[in-house]
Amino acid sequence: MKKAIYRILDANLDRAREGLRIIEEWCRLGLNNQTLAEECKQLRQELAQWHSWELRQARDTPGDVGTDISHPQEEIRDSIEQLLQANLCRAQEALRVLEEYSKLYNPEMASACKQLRYRVYTIESKLFNSYRHQRLQSAALYLVTSPEPDILKTVEAALKGGLNLVQYRHKDGNDSDRLEKADQLCQLCHQYNALFIVNDRVDIALAVDADGVHLGQNDAPVSFARELLGNQKIIGRSTTNKQELNRAIAERADYVGVGPFYETPTKPGKSPLTKEYIDYVKAKCPVPWFAIGGIDLSNLDAILTIGAQRVAVVRAIMQAEQPSQVTRQFLAQLIRR
């Protein structure tokens, strides 16, 4: 009995430290986030203090019946997000095992492992908040979908062209169909390591585990969406004037849409923005902002000359004969700027 407990503690100390090391490497080299990398390292060192020679001596790798046990989901990682989540869960589960079995070995160790587990939960929240927001900062092109018959095919073509930010927008239809399509698009975007945002519907974003939600002026408050989705998810807000922009900033939206720059059928009856408002956005907006409204390859240079660095498009890609090629052309022009 004693040896079995020692073996359990030894195995899970290794498992927790291994999981944390994988997270640490991404924080250090993937995100360049010194704070999170140091926290992971500190956790590993604190765990190492409990990994005594007595526990290591109980190790019996040849006699471990679990070394050949695996699951197909462990063999493949579809995205960096999935890899990080799997290893966070690995560390959290191992710490829970350590907490329980340490009660039979050393109550102080049990208490320490409990606190370490809570700290890993905090790292998880900070990590995905940082990860998603870093990708948002790097996104120059934002595809807002329209309900085309081949929407999945078109979005995948754009993703193959380098797109890394997609919003599912479908104002009509029943909720069951929208939920199914949102789920399919979410999985597709994550397969290509792209962010997936749902327009308007916080409930659908929550149901499919989207990366966030985009809210119009007549939709739910940002605070309501934040309460449901959490701080790690992205929340955007549409704006057409100074008052709406100031409110979005006060509500702590993560990004804003600024438009329409040109007349567009997606916003019937909306007049194009004034130069005064565009200048105000450039001077006052502290978060990423996307120019939107009638933008295509023919007027992109004019939009960039005005001072926009990011654009959101609908028809230019959704109705393109070659979405991959059009996406590459957009990105090439945006990157040059």
Q: Residues 132, 135, 169, 201: which is the catalytic one?
A: 169
Cα distance between residue 323 and residue 332, in whole Å: 14
* Catalytic status, residue 298: no
User: Of 135, 201, 238, 324, which residue is the catalytic one?
Assistant: 238
77 annotated active-site: no
**How far is it, in rounded angstroms, from Cα 6 to Cα 57?**
9
Q: How far apart are CA 295 and CA 301, in angstroms?
A: 10
Read off the tokens for 117.
């587990």
Tell which residue, 82, 81, 90, 190, has the closest CA to residue 131.
81
Rounded CA-CA distance 225/220 in Å is 7
| Lookup result for tokens 């709406």 | 244
Choice among 28, 96, 126, 267 that is catalytic: 267
Q: Is 238 a catalytic residue?
A: yes
How far is residue 224 from each of residues 65, 231, 246, 255, measured CA to CA in Å?
49, 12, 18, 16
Query: How far, in Å, CA of 313 to CA of 143, rounded?
Result: 5
Active site residues: 169, 238, 267
